[in-house]
Amino acid sequence: MDGNWRETLVPGGVFGNLRIVKRLGSGGMGVVFLAENPKGVRCALKVLAPSDASDEGRFEERFRNEAAFALKARHPNLVEVWDAGRDSATGLYYHVMEYLPGGSLRELIATAKKGLPIERAVSIARDVAHALVHIERNGMVHRDIKPDNVLFTADGIAKLADFGISRFEQGDDVHATRAAAVIGTPAYMAPEQMIDSHDVDIRADIYSFGVMLYELLAGRRPNAGENAMNTLAKAIEGYSFPNVRELRPDVPSALAKLVSDMTLPDPDDRPASAALVLMRIVQLVDTSEDYAPGAAVQAKLPWYRDRGVLYAATAMALALEALVLAIFRAVRGGG
Protein backbone atom coordinates (compact mmCIF):
# COMPACT_ATOMS: atom_id res chain seq x y z
CA MET A 1 0.00 0.00 0.00
CA ASP A 2 1.23 3.49 -0.85
CA GLY A 3 2.34 5.13 2.39
CA ASN A 4 1.57 8.57 0.94
CA TRP A 5 -2.18 8.03 0.75
CA ARG A 6 -2.78 10.74 3.37
CA GLU A 7 -1.06 13.25 1.11
CA THR A 8 -3.41 12.23 -1.71
CA LEU A 9 -6.61 12.94 0.22
CA VAL A 10 -6.08 16.67 0.69
CA PRO A 11 -7.51 19.64 -1.26
CA GLY A 12 -5.96 19.55 -4.71
CA GLY A 13 -4.91 15.92 -4.38
CA VAL A 14 -5.80 13.36 -7.06
CA PHE A 15 -7.51 10.06 -6.31
CA GLY A 16 -8.00 7.98 -9.44
CA ASN A 17 -9.57 10.43 -11.91
CA LEU A 18 -10.99 12.62 -9.16
CA ARG A 19 -9.62 15.86 -7.76
CA ILE A 20 -10.16 16.36 -4.02
CA VAL A 21 -11.90 19.64 -3.18
CA LYS A 22 -12.29 19.35 0.59
CA ARG A 23 -13.10 16.97 3.42
CA LEU A 24 -16.81 16.77 4.23
CA GLY A 25 -16.71 14.62 7.35
CA SER A 26 -16.76 11.08 8.68
CA GLY A 27 -19.53 8.53 8.35
CA GLY A 28 -20.35 5.32 10.15
CA MET A 29 -17.42 3.87 8.27
CA GLY A 30 -14.78 5.85 6.42
CA VAL A 31 -14.08 9.47 5.57
CA VAL A 32 -16.02 11.49 2.99
CA PHE A 33 -14.56 14.11 0.66
CA LEU A 34 -16.02 16.49 -1.89
CA ALA A 35 -14.38 15.74 -5.24
CA GLU A 36 -14.68 16.61 -8.94
CA ASN A 37 -14.29 14.46 -12.03
CA PRO A 38 -12.44 15.70 -15.14
CA LYS A 39 -15.68 17.24 -16.45
CA GLY A 40 -16.13 19.29 -13.28
CA VAL A 41 -19.03 17.21 -11.96
CA ARG A 42 -19.00 17.19 -8.19
CA CYS A 43 -19.36 13.99 -6.22
CA ALA A 44 -18.78 12.62 -2.74
CA LEU A 45 -15.81 10.28 -2.34
CA LYS A 46 -15.93 7.93 0.63
CA VAL A 47 -12.81 5.96 1.53
CA LEU A 48 -12.09 3.32 4.13
CA ALA A 49 -8.90 4.40 5.84
CA PRO A 50 -6.33 1.65 6.56
CA SER A 51 -6.73 2.22 10.30
CA ASP A 52 -10.33 1.02 9.88
CA ALA A 53 -9.42 -1.90 7.64
CA SER A 54 -8.87 -4.38 10.45
CA ASP A 55 -10.82 -6.65 12.78
CA GLU A 56 -10.40 -9.78 10.65
CA GLY A 57 -11.67 -8.04 7.53
CA ARG A 58 -15.07 -7.17 8.94
CA PHE A 59 -14.78 -3.47 8.07
CA GLU A 60 -13.75 -4.23 4.49
CA GLU A 61 -16.64 -6.69 4.22
CA ARG A 62 -19.16 -4.14 5.45
CA PHE A 63 -17.71 -1.45 3.20
CA ARG A 64 -18.00 -3.69 0.11
CA ASN A 65 -21.51 -4.81 1.03
CA GLU A 66 -22.60 -1.21 1.62
CA ALA A 67 -21.58 -0.36 -1.93
CA ALA A 68 -23.12 -3.51 -3.37
CA PHE A 69 -26.45 -2.75 -1.70
CA ALA A 70 -26.47 0.89 -2.80
CA LEU A 71 -25.57 0.02 -6.39
CA LYS A 72 -28.36 -2.57 -6.56
CA ALA A 73 -31.17 -1.15 -4.44
CA ARG A 74 -31.50 2.33 -5.92
CA HIS A 75 -34.29 4.58 -4.69
CA PRO A 76 -35.04 8.33 -5.00
CA ASN A 77 -34.75 8.68 -1.20
CA LEU A 78 -31.42 6.86 -0.87
CA VAL A 79 -28.08 8.49 -1.63
CA GLU A 80 -26.86 7.10 -4.95
CA VAL A 81 -23.55 5.25 -5.28
CA TRP A 82 -22.09 5.57 -8.78
CA ASP A 83 -18.91 3.53 -8.47
CA ALA A 84 -17.03 1.46 -5.91
CA GLY A 85 -13.86 -0.57 -5.72
CA ARG A 86 -10.28 -0.56 -4.51
CA ASP A 87 -7.82 2.03 -5.77
CA SER A 88 -4.73 0.39 -7.24
CA ALA A 89 -2.40 3.27 -6.38
CA THR A 90 -3.24 3.59 -2.69
CA GLY A 91 -4.93 0.29 -1.91
CA LEU A 92 -7.88 2.16 -0.39
CA TYR A 93 -11.46 0.91 -0.73
CA TYR A 94 -13.71 3.68 -2.03
CA HIS A 95 -17.27 4.66 -2.98
CA VAL A 96 -18.11 7.45 -5.43
CA MET A 97 -21.53 8.89 -4.55
CA GLU A 98 -23.78 11.74 -5.56
CA TYR A 99 -23.01 14.99 -3.79
CA LEU A 100 -25.99 16.52 -2.00
CA PRO A 101 -25.53 20.28 -1.60
CA GLY A 102 -28.58 20.82 0.59
CA GLY A 103 -26.77 19.92 3.81
CA SER A 104 -27.88 17.54 6.53
CA LEU A 105 -30.94 17.29 8.73
CA ARG A 106 -28.65 17.91 11.70
CA GLU A 107 -27.80 21.32 10.27
CA LEU A 108 -31.46 22.07 9.55
CA ILE A 109 -32.51 21.22 13.11
CA ALA A 110 -29.74 23.46 14.45
CA THR A 111 -31.03 26.44 12.48
CA ALA A 112 -34.66 25.80 13.48
CA LYS A 113 -33.77 25.52 17.22
CA LYS A 114 -37.35 25.05 18.46
CA GLY A 115 -38.50 22.60 15.83
CA LEU A 116 -39.35 22.67 12.15
CA PRO A 117 -42.69 23.80 10.72
CA ILE A 118 -45.14 20.91 10.93
CA GLU A 119 -45.56 20.56 7.18
CA ARG A 120 -41.79 20.51 6.60
CA ALA A 121 -41.30 17.91 9.33
CA VAL A 122 -44.03 15.70 7.82
CA SER A 123 -42.51 16.08 4.35
CA ILE A 124 -39.07 15.00 5.57
CA ALA A 125 -40.58 12.13 7.55
CA ARG A 126 -42.41 10.94 4.43
CA ASP A 127 -39.15 10.87 2.44
CA VAL A 128 -37.34 8.93 5.19
CA ALA A 129 -40.26 6.51 5.52
CA HIS A 130 -40.14 5.79 1.78
CA ALA A 131 -36.43 5.00 2.14
CA LEU A 132 -37.11 2.67 5.08
CA VAL A 133 -39.88 0.85 3.19
CA HIS A 134 -37.41 0.20 0.38
CA ILE A 135 -34.53 -1.03 2.52
CA GLU A 136 -36.88 -3.26 4.52
CA ARG A 137 -38.13 -4.82 1.29
CA ASN A 138 -34.51 -5.46 0.36
CA GLY A 139 -33.78 -7.30 3.61
CA MET A 140 -31.73 -4.62 5.32
CA VAL A 141 -31.74 -2.84 8.69
CA HIS A 142 -29.92 0.51 8.69
CA ARG A 143 -29.06 0.59 12.43
CA ASP A 144 -27.95 4.24 12.42
CA ILE A 145 -30.96 6.43 11.64
CA LYS A 146 -30.14 9.93 12.88
CA PRO A 147 -30.21 13.52 11.56
CA ASP A 148 -26.58 13.34 10.44
CA ASN A 149 -27.49 10.56 8.00
CA VAL A 150 -30.35 12.40 6.29
CA LEU A 151 -29.09 14.66 3.50
CA PHE A 152 -30.89 17.01 1.14
CA THR A 153 -30.81 17.66 -2.57
CA ALA A 154 -30.70 21.24 -3.79
CA ASP A 155 -34.50 21.26 -4.01
CA GLY A 156 -35.04 19.86 -0.51
CA ILE A 157 -35.67 16.15 -1.12
CA ALA A 158 -34.44 14.10 1.84
CA LYS A 159 -32.21 11.09 1.21
CA LEU A 160 -31.01 8.48 3.67
CA ALA A 161 -27.25 7.97 3.70
CA ASP A 162 -24.50 5.88 5.28
CA PHE A 163 -25.12 2.15 5.30
CA GLY A 164 -21.73 1.41 6.83
CA ILE A 165 -23.08 -0.37 9.90
CA SER A 166 -26.24 -1.76 8.33
CA ARG A 167 -27.31 -5.38 8.73
CA PHE A 168 -28.00 -7.29 5.52
CA GLU A 169 -30.17 -10.39 5.54
CA GLN A 170 -28.51 -11.81 2.44
CA GLY A 171 -24.83 -12.55 1.96
CA ASP A 172 -22.02 -12.92 4.44
CA ASP A 173 -22.61 -9.55 6.10
CA VAL A 174 -25.19 -11.13 8.38
CA HIS A 175 -22.15 -12.55 10.17
CA ALA A 176 -20.16 -9.31 10.15
CA THR A 177 -21.73 -8.20 13.43
CA ARG A 178 -20.79 -10.46 16.30
CA ALA A 179 -23.55 -11.69 18.58
CA ALA A 180 -23.95 -9.32 21.55
CA ALA A 181 -22.03 -6.58 19.70
CA VAL A 182 -23.44 -3.08 20.14
CA ILE A 183 -23.09 -0.64 17.25
CA GLY A 184 -24.94 2.54 16.37
CA THR A 185 -25.42 5.98 17.89
CA PRO A 186 -26.57 5.54 21.52
CA ALA A 187 -28.79 8.65 21.61
CA TYR A 188 -30.99 7.18 18.84
CA MET A 189 -30.65 3.45 19.45
CA ALA A 190 -33.60 1.23 20.34
CA PRO A 191 -33.31 -0.55 23.72
CA GLU A 192 -32.87 -3.94 22.06
CA GLN A 193 -30.08 -2.54 19.88
CA MET A 194 -28.25 -1.27 22.98
CA ILE A 195 -28.22 -4.84 24.28
CA ASP A 196 -27.37 -6.68 21.07
CA SER A 197 -27.19 -5.12 17.61
CA HIS A 198 -26.85 -8.45 15.81
CA ASP A 199 -30.46 -9.63 15.62
CA VAL A 200 -32.42 -6.35 15.44
CA ASP A 201 -35.03 -5.87 12.73
CA ILE A 202 -36.72 -2.90 11.07
CA ARG A 203 -38.47 -2.01 14.34
CA ALA A 204 -35.12 -0.81 15.70
CA ASP A 205 -34.89 1.59 12.75
CA ILE A 206 -38.48 2.67 13.40
CA TYR A 207 -37.53 3.53 17.00
CA SER A 208 -34.52 5.58 15.86
CA PHE A 209 -36.72 7.27 13.26
CA GLY A 210 -39.21 8.13 16.01
CA VAL A 211 -36.51 9.71 18.19
CA MET A 212 -35.36 11.72 15.17
CA LEU A 213 -38.93 12.79 14.33
CA TYR A 214 -39.42 13.92 17.94
CA GLU A 215 -36.27 16.03 17.59
CA LEU A 216 -37.55 17.46 14.29
CA LEU A 217 -40.70 18.66 16.01
CA ALA A 218 -39.42 19.69 19.44
CA GLY A 219 -35.92 20.86 18.57
CA ARG A 220 -34.44 18.37 21.05
CA ARG A 221 -34.36 14.63 21.57
CA PRO A 222 -36.79 13.08 24.08
CA ASN A 223 -33.79 11.63 25.93
CA ALA A 224 -31.66 14.78 25.80
CA GLY A 225 -29.31 15.01 28.78
CA GLU A 226 -29.43 11.28 29.51
CA ASN A 227 -26.70 8.76 28.90
CA ALA A 228 -27.40 5.52 27.09
CA MET A 229 -27.49 3.43 30.26
CA ASN A 230 -30.15 5.64 31.86
CA THR A 231 -32.28 5.48 28.72
CA LEU A 232 -31.88 1.69 28.58
CA ALA A 233 -32.74 1.26 32.27
CA LYS A 234 -35.91 3.29 31.86
CA ALA A 235 -36.86 1.31 28.77
CA ILE A 236 -36.43 -1.98 30.62
CA GLU A 237 -38.75 -0.62 33.31
CA GLY A 238 -41.32 0.20 30.62
CA TYR A 239 -40.80 3.97 30.69
CA SER A 240 -42.00 5.80 27.59
CA PHE A 241 -40.86 9.22 26.41
CA PRO A 242 -43.00 12.27 27.25
CA ASN A 243 -45.55 13.21 24.61
CA VAL A 244 -43.99 15.67 22.15
CA ARG A 245 -47.03 17.94 22.61
CA GLU A 246 -45.76 18.72 26.10
CA LEU A 247 -42.91 20.63 24.47
CA ARG A 248 -44.81 21.72 21.37
CA PRO A 249 -48.59 21.89 21.79
CA ASP A 250 -49.28 22.65 18.11
CA VAL A 251 -48.10 19.20 17.02
CA PRO A 252 -51.17 17.35 15.67
CA SER A 253 -52.40 14.64 18.04
CA ALA A 254 -52.14 11.99 15.29
CA LEU A 255 -48.53 12.90 14.64
CA ALA A 256 -47.71 12.93 18.36
CA LYS A 257 -49.34 9.50 18.70
CA LEU A 258 -47.24 8.15 15.83
CA VAL A 259 -44.03 9.43 17.45
CA SER A 260 -45.05 7.83 20.75
CA ASP A 261 -45.86 4.50 19.06
CA MET A 262 -42.57 4.47 17.17
CA THR A 263 -40.53 4.98 20.35
CA LEU A 264 -42.23 2.45 22.64
CA PRO A 265 -39.68 0.41 24.65
CA ASP A 266 -41.00 -2.98 23.55
CA PRO A 267 -40.47 -3.59 19.81
CA ASP A 268 -43.65 -5.69 19.72
CA ASP A 269 -45.65 -2.56 20.58
CA ARG A 270 -44.22 -0.45 17.77
CA PRO A 271 -45.50 -0.36 14.17
CA ALA A 272 -44.43 -3.68 12.71
CA SER A 273 -43.16 -2.35 9.38
CA ALA A 274 -41.94 0.79 7.67
CA ALA A 275 -44.93 0.59 5.32
CA LEU A 276 -47.29 1.05 8.29
CA VAL A 277 -45.31 4.10 9.40
CA LEU A 278 -45.47 5.55 5.89
CA MET A 279 -49.22 4.96 5.73
CA ARG A 280 -49.76 6.86 8.97
CA ILE A 281 -47.53 9.72 7.83
CA VAL A 282 -49.49 10.11 4.60
CA GLN A 283 -52.72 10.08 6.61
CA LEU A 284 -51.52 13.20 8.42
CA VAL A 285 -52.71 15.36 5.52
CA ASP A 286 -56.26 14.30 6.40
CA THR A 287 -58.62 16.92 7.83
CA SER A 288 -58.36 16.03 11.50
CA GLU A 289 -59.63 18.50 14.08
CA ASP A 290 -56.25 19.86 15.06
CA TYR A 291 -54.48 19.81 11.70
CA ALA A 292 -55.52 21.38 8.42
CA PRO A 293 -52.89 21.16 5.66
CA GLY A 294 -51.38 24.44 4.58
CA ALA A 295 -52.00 25.98 1.18
CA ALA A 296 -48.89 24.38 -0.35
CA VAL A 297 -50.01 20.90 0.67
CA GLN A 298 -53.59 21.49 -0.47
CA ALA A 299 -52.38 22.66 -3.86
CA LYS A 300 -50.37 19.46 -4.35
CA LEU A 301 -53.04 17.17 -2.89
CA PRO A 302 -56.43 18.47 -4.07
CA TRP A 303 -58.06 15.18 -3.01
CA TYR A 304 -56.91 15.43 0.62
CA ARG A 305 -60.43 16.00 1.93
CA ASP A 306 -61.60 12.55 0.83
CA ARG A 307 -60.25 10.09 3.39
CA GLY A 308 -61.14 7.02 1.31
CA VAL A 309 -59.39 8.39 -1.76
CA LEU A 310 -56.37 9.36 0.33
CA TYR A 311 -55.95 5.91 1.86
CA ALA A 312 -56.60 4.14 -1.43
CA ALA A 313 -54.03 6.31 -3.17
CA THR A 314 -51.47 5.50 -0.50
CA ALA A 315 -52.08 1.77 -0.83
CA MET A 316 -51.84 2.01 -4.60
CA ALA A 317 -48.60 3.96 -4.36
CA LEU A 318 -47.07 1.27 -2.17
CA ALA A 319 -48.26 -1.48 -4.50
CA LEU A 320 -46.75 0.23 -7.57
CA GLU A 321 -43.49 1.24 -5.93
CA ALA A 322 -41.60 -1.76 -7.29
CA LEU A 323 -42.51 -0.76 -10.86
CA VAL A 324 -41.54 2.88 -10.30
CA LEU A 325 -38.20 1.86 -8.82
CA ALA A 326 -37.52 -0.47 -11.74
CA ILE A 327 -38.05 2.44 -14.13
CA PHE A 328 -35.90 4.71 -11.94
CA ARG A 329 -33.04 2.19 -11.93
CA ALA A 330 -33.32 1.69 -15.68
CA VAL A 331 -33.16 5.43 -16.35
CA ARG A 332 -30.19 5.94 -14.02
CA GLY A 333 -28.43 2.92 -15.40
CA GLY A 334 -28.91 4.14 -18.94
CA GLY A 335 -27.51 7.55 -18.02
Distance from C-alpha of 316 to C-alpha of 335, rounded to nearest angstrom: 28
CA nearest 94: which of 52, 38, 39? 52
Residue 14 sits at φ, ψ, to 5 deg, of -120, 130
DSSP 265: S
HSE-CB for 233 with a 13 A CA cutoff: 5
How is 129-178 classified by DSSP, letter by letter? HHHHHHHHHTTEE-S--SGGGEEE-TT--EEE---TT-EESSSGGGGSS-
Q: Is the separation of the CB atoms in 239 and 292 below 8 Å?
A: no
Q: How far is CA 154 from the centre of its chain?
A: 18
Neighbour tally for 84: CB within 10 Å: 18
Gyration radius of the chain's alpha carbons: 20
Q: What angle do CA 274, 277, 280 make, to 5 degrees?
A: 150
Distance from C-alpha of 67 to C-alpha of 23, rounded to nearest angstrom: 20
Distance from C-alpha of 199 to C-alpha of 183, rounded to nearest angstrom: 12
Distance from C-alpha of 64 to C-alpha of 26, rounded to nearest angstrom: 17
* Position 133, amino acid: V
Residues with catalytic roles: 144
CA nearest 203: which of 121, 275, 148, 253? 275
* Position 267, amino acid: P
- Phi-psi domain of 234 (left: phi exceeds 0; alpha: psi -120 through 50; beta: other): alpha
